[in-house]
Amino acid sequence: MHKFLIVGLGNIGSEYAHTRHNIGFDVVSAFVLKHGGLFKNDRLADVATVTWKGKQFICIKPTTYMNLSGKAFKYWMDKEKLEPNQTLTVVDDLALPLSKMRLRGSGSDAGHNGLKDIQLMLGTDVYPKLRFGIGNQFPKGGQIDFVLGKWLASEQPVIQQKIDKSIEVIESFAAIGLDRTMTVCNALNFEI
């Protein structure tokens, strides 16, 4: 059975729930819910295992806080005996508008502390990432409040649409591979 590690980045704690920075948690939670899985607290992460079309997905939401995401990522990748190309990390991205998502097989951390720590632990930036655009509509100096803020009511419909599409991207990544999934995913444009 083909196995994949799906990593949603976010921060634990109710004050961070459903914030822009926690979209990785929300996407992975929605994926697990769709496939009838349940999270349980395990080593360094909340973990759920689901199967779909003969493929197994170990889904984690690190409980290490964002800045130490690499610790959980590396532990579960090693435990499941997986290679970086058998993982997919879902992460918020300020550099992408809300209307976009971007799937890549490699790429810098772009200043994201969660990705920075994963890259440090892996010793490479060559691992697949699904970047969920959150836009950057904040005044100078307001980045932290924006990232840790909740979605606006007007953004909710597009966020739900993008979460649903992200689930399809995860399935497609496992079914037809990174390159073919990138072609479809990176061309998507979500109406706001």
Angle at CA 179, nearest 5°, toward 176 and 181? Answer: 55
Distance CA(77)–CA(104), nearest Å, equals 19
- Marked catalytic residue, from 2, 18, 21, 112: 21
Distance CA(184)–CA(164), nearest Å, equals 15
Could you give the residue ranges of the DSSP H alpha helices within the chain? 23-34, 69-79, 113-122, 143-147, 156-176, 178-185
What three-state secondary structure class fits 87? Answer: strand
Angle at CA 79, nearest 5°, toward 3 and 75? Answer: 115
- Of 31, 57, 24, 82, the C-alpha closest to 175 is 57
The verdict on whether 21 is a catalytic residue reads yes
Residue with tokens 């083909």: 2
Please tell me what DSSP assigns to residue 90.
E
Residues labelled catalytic: 21
